[in-house]
Amino acid sequence: MPTSYQSEIKGDYLYVIAKGSVDSLDEMLAHIRNVHAKLAQSGLLKLLVNDTQCHMHLNIDGIATVIKEAYEQEWLVKQARVAAVSSPINFPILQHTFKSTEEVMIFTDEKDAEVWLASK
């Protein structure tokens, strides 16, 4: 099932809901590009992405490779702060992948993500 996106501006951040599944590294790269393109179009530097309905069928090495490539290709919005709300099943993998970055935090609760984003 292809991934679909809905977005809206909420105060000083862009809120994006992603639905569907990510089954390959190319789909993961497309997911990152799509979400960050929406952020760039908004002109904002804060993003709350709700991925609880977007299931990722990749291993941790694959996700880490995709994130590294996204940074190297500069697909990510510079100086952006990203709060991502993950499904419980994807949470450990995503939390491990982003543990060394200060600009991205992974959550399972949207309220916690909003509080963190408001503090940035």
Q: Are strands 104-107 and 81-85 parallel, antiparallel or unpaired?
A: parallel
Instruction: Report which secondary-structure segment, H or E, holds 25.
Output: helix 25-42
Whether 86 has a pLDDT exceeding 80, the answer reads yes
Local structure of 17: helix, strand or coil = strand
Locus of tokens 């709350």: 48
Pairwise CA distance, residues 115 & 94, whole Å: 19
Cα separation, 18 vs 7, whole angstroms = 9
Q: What is the mean pLDDT of the segment spanning 83-104?
A: 84
Under the banding of pLDDT at 50, 70 and 90, the label for residue 56 is: confident
Residue 31's nearest CA partner among 79, 90, 101 is 90
CATH numbers and ranges of domains, the chain: 4-118 (3.30.750.24)
pLDDT band at 77 (very low <50, low <70, confident <90, very high): low
